[in-house]
């Protein structure tokens, strides 16, 4: 059985500043060739929530599983990886270049608290699926009242 690397973290303070990412996204929307940082791409993702779990599906065809890293905190999931251009030859000329290559990183904030002990990830046919069990919300704690 092969495994996908999953790392647990308290926060994602090592990420670039939100301001830099916002400016980069703004300019990229006007001209996809313009970026402030090195070339990155944003794979499309879906989040589904059931009463029992949160499911994240990422479309990352062409990314080798060894080039993927998943980091999970109690608030968010960060998926990072790299897709390499494998079919380019030195003597060819691009006539159309729509497929994006390079590094990617997505941080998805979770809609509910999760149980870090009940998480699974699978990668098949270009789709990464992460399933996370939700913590029950309706647990009541009784607090004893002492005299005096």
State residue 103's pLDDT score: 94
Which candidate, 88, 79, 84, 125, places its Cα nearest to that of 101? 84
On whether the CB atoms of residues 8 and 78 are closer than 8 A, the answer is no
d(CA 72, CA 108): 10
State residue 12's pLDDT score: 58
State residue 1's pLDDT score: 53
State residue 36's pLDDT score: 46
On whether the CB atoms of residues 129 and 55 are closer than 8 A, the answer is yes
φ/ψ of residue 132, rounded to 5: -130, 125
HSE-up of residue 29 (Cα within 13 Å, Cβ side): 6
d(CA 110, CA 3): 23
Provide the token pair at 55. Answer: 């499911």
DSSP 47-73: EEE-SSEEEEEEE-TT--GGGEEEEE-
What does each C-alpha distance from 49 to 14, 44, 98 come to in angstroms?
27, 17, 32
Per-residue pLDDT of the chain (148 residues; tens, 9 = 90+): 566 666 766 665 554 455 556 666 666 555 555 444 445 789 999 999 999 999 999 999 999 999 999 999 888 999 999 998 877 777 888 788 888 889 999 999 999 999 888 999 999 999 999 999 998 877 667 788 888 7
d(CA 32, CA 96): 14
What domains does the chain contain, in order, with CATH numbers? Answer: 6-89+96-134 (2.60.40.790)
0.75 surpassed by pTM: no
Beta strand 40-41 with 102-109 is parallel
State residue 22's pLDDT score: 63
State residue 35's pLDDT score: 46
């Amino acid at each position: 059985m092969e495994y996908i690397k999953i790392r647990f973290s308290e926060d994602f303070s090592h990420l670039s500043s939100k301001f830099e990412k916002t400016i980069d996204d703004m300019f990229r929307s006007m001209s996809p060739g313009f970026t402030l940082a090195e070339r990155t791409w944003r794979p499309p993702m879906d989040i589904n929530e059931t009463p029992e779990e949160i499911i994240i599906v990422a479309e990352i065809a062409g990314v080798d599983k060894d080039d993927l890293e998943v980091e999970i905190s109690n608030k968010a999931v960060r998926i990072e990886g790299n897709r390499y251009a494998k079919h380019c030859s030195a003597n060819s000329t691009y006539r159309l270049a729509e497929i994006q290559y390079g590094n990617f990183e997505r941080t998805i904030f979770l809609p509910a608290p999760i149980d870090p002990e009940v998480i699974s990830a699978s990668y098949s046919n270009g789709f990464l699926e992460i399933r996370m069990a939700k913590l029950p919300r309706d647990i009541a704690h009784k607090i004893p009242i002492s005299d005096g």
